[in-house]
């Protein structure tokens, strides 16, 4: 499990959990996940969104899929049963932002072919190989190689939606609803985003 930036570099990684565990549980038990849920992260202070006329400061957020619990610092899509057009557009915009992490893993596995097959090593060694590739080699190569659109396009994989988890705090729901309004009714609405939900 990892968090990346817009340059496809890994910023936080957690390696070594069992594949049968849910993403939400893996995240909650990781060092970074514990800090998020205990409100001990080192995020910058709340800020207003760009071109936001209301001027209400919001917390910095990470983008996640439906396998994660909603939190004031962790946005997840709305489940399918409660969708109107504005929420569909929000889900689509969130989906586009989440593609960065999918592409980061795709770029890494294309560069380091050890990830394209089963590793014939002890589990501890596999964890060390993965940590080294994510936290050192991949990021180093991204900085040296720079942005390559072919890497990104060839590493695109479909993102499957997962079932939701748990109930969320009112504050987390407010943050998500504010982002819904932001991507639908401000200067950040895309000219073509309404066409996407009609397809």
Per-residue pLDDT at 157: 43
The answer for residues whose C-beta is within 8 angstroms of residue 99's C-beta and 6 or more apart is 156, 159
Which residue is it, tokens 């309404």? 194
pLDDT in tens, the chain (199 residues): 899 998 999 999 999 887 778 888 889 989 999 999 888 999 999 999 887 877 889 999 999 999 898 999 999 999 887 688 889 989 998 998 999 999 999 999 988 888 988 889 998 999 999 999 998 999 998 888 765 555 544 544 433 334 344 556 788 999 999 998 888 876 666 777 777 665 5
Let me know the angle formed at the C-alpha of 25 by 182 and 175, rounded to the nearest 5 degrees: 15
State residue 57's pLDDT score: 93
- Strand, helix or coil at 66? coil
Q: What torsion do the CA atoms of 176, 15, 158, 74 make, to the nearest 10 degrees?
A: 0
**Predicted pLDDT at 155:** 47
Mapping DSSP onto H, E and C, the string for 126-139 reads HHHHHHHHHHHHHH
pTM above 0.85, yes or no: no
Q: How many angstroms separate the CA atoms of 74 and 69, rounded?
A: 8
pLDDT for 81 equals: 74
Q: According to the model, what pLDDT value does residue 163 have?
A: 38
Token pair of 111 as six digits = 């560069």
């Amino acid at each position: 499990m990892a968090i990346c930036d817009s340059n496809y570099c890994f910023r936080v990684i957690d390696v070594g959990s069992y594949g049968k565990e849910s993403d939400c549980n893996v995240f909650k038990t990781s060092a970074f996940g514990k800090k998020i849920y205990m409100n001990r992260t080192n995020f910058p202070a709340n800020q207003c969104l760009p071109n936001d006329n209301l001027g209400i400061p919001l917390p910095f957020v990470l983008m996640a899929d439906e396998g994660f619990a909603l939190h004031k610092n962790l946005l997840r899509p709305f489940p399918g049963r409660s969708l109107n057009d504005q929420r569909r557009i929000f889900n689509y915009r969130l989906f586009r932002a989440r593609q960065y992490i999918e592409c980061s893993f795709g770029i890494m596995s294309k560069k380091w072919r050890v990830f394209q097959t089963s590793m014939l090593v002890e589990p501890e060694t596999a964890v060390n190989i993965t940590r080294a590739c994510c936290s050192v080699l991949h990021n180093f190569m991204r900085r040296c190689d720079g942005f390559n659109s072919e890497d990104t396009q060839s590493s695109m994989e479909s993102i499957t939606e997962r079932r939701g988890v748990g109930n969320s705090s009112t504050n987390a729901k407010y943050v998500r609803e504010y982002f819904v309004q932001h991507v639908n009714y401000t200067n950040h609405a895309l000219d073509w985003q309404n066409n996407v939900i009609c397809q």
